[in-house]
Amino acid sequence: MAIDEAVLVSASLRELGRMLRTGETNPTELANAYLERLDTVGRRFNAVVTLTRDRAMREARQAGEELAAGHDRGPLHGIPYGLKDLVATANIPTTWGAVPYREQVFDRDATVVTRLGAAGAVLIAKLAMVELAGGMGYEQPDASLTGPGLSPWNVEGWSGGSSSGSGSAVGSRSVPFAIGSETFGSILTPASFCGVSGLRPTYGRVSRHGAMALCWTMDKLGPMARSADDCGLVLDAIAGHDAEDPCSLTQPYRYAPEESRSDGFRLAVLKGATDGAEAEVKANFEAAVAVLRGVATIEEVELPEIPYGAVATTIIRAEASASFDDLISSGRISELTAPEDRINPMSYITVSARDYLRALRIRRHIGRAVDALMARYDAVLSPTTNGVAYKIGEPFPTARTRSVGSALGAAGNVAGVPAISMPNGIGARGLPTAIQFVGRALDENRILAVANAYQRLTDWHLRLPPLQV
């Protein structure tokens, strides 16, 4: 049997799961179909580093045998996925997107891979990323050993970073879901630029064990998928305490869509959220808010005056200077792709211990201020990015503008609170725009409930990139 292309590009995880259980397809056929699509469509967007064909066939065969025997591991059983190439996989290269690590191979899987394996998911690819998760200060899309990530919606636009391949592989419908990572914007930005749903979990919710460290106190792993519901199903499989990650949370997590409310939400819009945004971003955000008014009360709020961006900058650069000390000291940064990445990291040594600790001290204030704000609402809203994907070849400093939305990004990442981005319309050059819902620490289910309600009322998450259909 052959799977209909329309199913491959549009099916939710629940729909694929149903097909696997009714015998309309099987895990091996599904893995082969997505491997083929990644190898053809996905590669057009520089989404792929390594196809893990042998491992995929082995895991798919096992999933098929288990399902046939009635051993059901849950909603991801037999479902193919892609993994950002900063997550370790046994005996398969893990490049961190960077030339100096092109040949790097670990001998064991990261915890997140182990958990997805236990859920029966099938790893089919290691996906492209900005070199070293963007921590060296890149200022252009061409900052990866696999070339610039391209948006499936318009190849003249960047896929976003640093989870570039995770965004474009999901956006081009070449995988049902992928794992990305975020230190500051690296899940939400590619989710926005590629028109997919991306969930940044609470810091510590998903084990970082086996993932490349950029900034120990801010790195998070999370799902990127076709819908908020899909993100919830994946988070359910990968969340949970891990003794091998010293920052892993002990609180358990279970996705609970059955408890989702469809109305009565309390939401807030960040004051000035669309200041400086592109016209379409502003219009689409306002349209999304209008939709949400049908199921929620919505107030306007302001973030307290705290230097969120400066705190984030100081923490990330101080920790990156240490986590990549060997690479910087050895001079091998000269092998990185983006010219600025070969120079910028040397300057990180100028962040003093005094400043690093001061940033961490302010961070405590930020955590409490953000919690006090978020505790009053199910979610705080703003555009995810204030513009559509940057043009390939355009340096960032001339491409980007500043908005209050970026303050929400800084505050959310420094505080370690969860957020989800989802498409909310089409903007300039046919590229998607997006809205983000930011919530209280540990309240993934609340923002997922709001996101599910929004996606029940709209169909932006179901729209397909014109190049792919």
By annotation, the residues acting in catalysis are 84, 162, 186
Measured from the CB of residue 228, what is the shortest distance to other proteins in angstroms?
21
Contact 301, 269 (CB under 8 A): yes
Q: Which two tokens stand for residue 421?
A: 């981005």
Between CA 455 and CA 170 the distance in angstroms is 17
Place of tokens 């800084």: 410
Task: Tell me the C-alpha distance between 319 and 324, whole Å.
Answer: 8
Binding to other proteins in span 287-326, by CB under 8 A: 306-307, 309-314, 316-317
331 binds other proteins (CB under 8 A): yes
The Cα 226–Cα 159 span in angstroms is 16
**348 lies in the binding site for other proteins (CB under 8 A):** yes
Choice from 367, 426, 430, 442 touching other proteins (CB under 8 A): 367
Q: Are 116 and 237 in contact (CB under 8 A)?
A: yes
Contacts of 388 (CB under 8 A, 6+ apart): 157, 193, 278, 280, 281, 427, 428, 429, 431, 432, 433
The 10 Å Cβ neighbour count of residue 74 is 14
| Farthest CA pair distance, the chain | 64
Report, in Å, the least distance between residue 305 CB and other proteins: 9
Least gap, CB of 433 to other proteins (angstroms): 13
Q: Least distance in Å: CB of 123 to other proteins?
A: 24
- Interface pattern 148-177 for other proteins (x via CB under 8 A): ----------x-xxx---------------
Q: Does 388 bind other proteins (CB under 8 A)?
A: no
Interface residues for other proteins in 115-144 (CB under 8 A)? Answer: 130, 133-141
Q: Mark the segment that binds other proteins (CB under 8 A) among 55-63, 147-155, 184-192, 441-449.
A: 184-192
Minimum separation from the CB atom of position 330 to other proteins (A): 10
| Site map 215..234 versus other proteins, x via CB under 8 A | -xx-----------------
Q: Which of 35, 48, 351, 404 binds other proteins (CB under 8 A)?
A: 351
Q: Which of 390, 437, 454, 460 binds other proteins (CB under 8 A)?
A: 390
Residue number with CB closer to other proteins (72 or 394) = 394
What are 132's two structure tokens? 């070293």
Q: Which residues partner with 432 through β-bridges?
A: 426
Q: Which of 455, 387, 445 is nearest to 193 (CA)?
A: 387
The binder of other proteins chosen from 344, 445, 455, 458 (CB under 8 A): 344
Q: Of residues 360, 369, 442, 464, which one binds other proteins by CB under 8 A?
A: 360
H or E, element range at 12: none
Rounded distance, CA 253 to CA 206, Å? 10
The pattern of x and - marking residues 62 through 101 that bind other proteins according to CB under 8 A reads ----------------------------------------
> Contact at 8 Å (CB) between 131 and 369?
no
Minimum CB distance to other proteins smaller for 214 or for 238: 214
Measure CA 308 to chain center.
21
Cα within 13 Å of Cα(90), Cβ side: 9
| 456 CB neighbour count, 10 Å cutoff | 14
Which positions from 224 through 283 interact with other proteins, judged by CB under 8 A?
246-247
Terminal CA-CA length for the chain: 21
Q: Does residue 335 interact with other proteins by CB under 8 A?
A: no
Measure the CA angle with vertex 110, ends 106 and 111; round to 5°.
Answer: 160
Tally of CB atoms within 10 A around 290: 10
CA 132 to chain centre: 15
Interface characters, 396-415, with other proteins (x: CB under 8 A)? xx-xx-x---x--xx-----
395 binds other proteins (CB under 8 A): yes
Nearer to other proteins, 99 or 343 (CB): 343
Residues 6+ apart with CB under 8 A from 169: 38, 42, 45, 47, 48, 82, 125, 127, 175, 178
Residues that bind other proteins (CB under 8 A): 130, 133-141, 158, 160-162, 183-186, 189, 214, 216-217, 246-247, 306-307, 309-314, 316-317, 328-329, 331, 340, 343-344, 346-352, 355, 357-365, 367, 385, 390, 395-397, 399-400, 402, 406, 409-410
